[in-house]
């Protein structure tokens, strides 16, 4: 019996004109019904009241160089696997978006057979659907605001809005000014660019830092297999490097990196390692509360 190869043509998203999901071939290559979640057993979880602020994307569509739209959002593995580790380590979350509109997910990448991950999504579904508006969060930020860390997950959705948001910049600068941890993965570090255009004193706070992030070079070739329906209009890694950031990885691999209070991961393949790093780091700092 002859089996036809999977198509590399992007799949139409019928909810929007000229919008596309990844091709069947690329989904077979880059998604899995189960994540590689492991090691999320924390003998002495946190029992205090400091929370973690998650900044999700409210952007579904990302315009490509050829004017097609990529139907994207936050990658569920990059979002939920690190959250699962932090959840098991005893932390709870506040979830926010720039507009206060629902968090958009790349549900085509959800590990549907992974009950731990789908269960966590269900547990926080009300917050994902009705998140805080980030400007409201910003108005309440101060030295005593009870966030232990800020988490900015990846997926291509963050490229559409977070790098241009003054509210995102305000949260990031608050984290620096108040010695809080920042956690991000894959395309999430594109949000750091918000601090390059907010006009605040002190310059770009990430200059001299080393991170792991999704490589620009990989983004340049994924349209060849229909993961995106076209090429990106700009490269976030290139912009970060121009501002003095070193990107340690050259492949979309499992690598993670800790530079002072900045914790980053390279790709969805790094989600579990980033979750372990983040949970261990925060527990070492705040103890049991």
3-state secondary structure 250-287: CCCCCCEEEECCEEEECCHHHHHHHHHHHHHHHHHHHC
- Residue 84, number of CB atoms within 10 A of its CB: 23
Residue 288: burial class (beta carbons within 10 Å; 0-12, 13-18, 19+): exposed
What lies within 8 Å, CB to CB, of 128 at 6+ separation is 56, 95, 102, 103, 105, 121
2, with CB counted inside 10 A (0-12, 13-18, 19+), is exposed
| Residue of 77, 186, 194, 247 with catalytic role | 186
CA distance 183 to 82: 9
What does DSSP say about strands 11-12 and 93-97: parallel, antiparallel, or unpaired? unpaired
186 flagged as catalytic: yes
C-alpha dihedral (85, 91, 97, 103), degrees to nearest 10: 50
Query: The tokens of 274 are what?
Result: 């980033």
Question: b/e per residue, 235-261, with b = 16+ CB within 10 A?
Answer: bbbebbeebebebebeebebbbbbbee
Nearest to 55 by CA among 144, 196, 143, 174: 174
Nearest-CA neighbor of 19 among 70, 55, 77? 70
Which sequence positions are flagged as catalytic?
A: 186
């Amino acid at each position: 019996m002859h089996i036809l190869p999977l198509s590399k043509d992007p799949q139409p998203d019928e909810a929007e004109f000229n919008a596309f999901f990844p091709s069947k071939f690329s989904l077979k290559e880059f998604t899995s019904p189960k994540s590689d979640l492991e090691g999320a057993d924390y003998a002495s979880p946190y029992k205090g009241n400091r929370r973690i602020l998650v900044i999700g994307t409210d952007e579904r569509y990302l315009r490509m160089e050829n004017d097609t739209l990529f139907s994207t959002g936050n990658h569920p593995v990059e979002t939920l696997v690190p959250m699962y580790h932090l959840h098991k380590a005893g932390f709870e979350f506040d979830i926010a978006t720039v507009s206060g509109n629902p968090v958009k997910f790349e549900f085509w990448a959800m590990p549907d057979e992974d009950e731990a991950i789908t269960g966590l999504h269900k547990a926080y579904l009300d917050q994902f659907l009705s998140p805080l508006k980030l400007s409201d969060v910003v108005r309440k930020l101060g030295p005593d605001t009870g966030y232990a860390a800020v988490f900015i997950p990846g997926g291509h959705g963050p490229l559409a809005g977070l790098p241009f948001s003054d509210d995102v910049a305000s949260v990031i600068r608050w984290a620096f000014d108040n010695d809080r941890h920042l956690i991000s993965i894959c395309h999430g570090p594109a949000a750091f660019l918000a601090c390059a255009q907010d006009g605040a004193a002190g310059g770009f706070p990430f200059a001299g830092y080393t991170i792991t992030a999704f490589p620009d070079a990989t983004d340049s070739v994924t349209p060849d297999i229909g993961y995106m329906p076209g090429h990106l209009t700009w490269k976030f890694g290139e912009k970060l490097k121009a501002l003095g950031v070193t990107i340690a990885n050259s492949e979309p691999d499992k690598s993670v990196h800790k530079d002072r209070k900045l914790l980053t991961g390279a790709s969805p393949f790094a989600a579990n390692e980033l979750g372990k790093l983040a949970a261990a780091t925060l527990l070492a700092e705040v103890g049991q509360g």
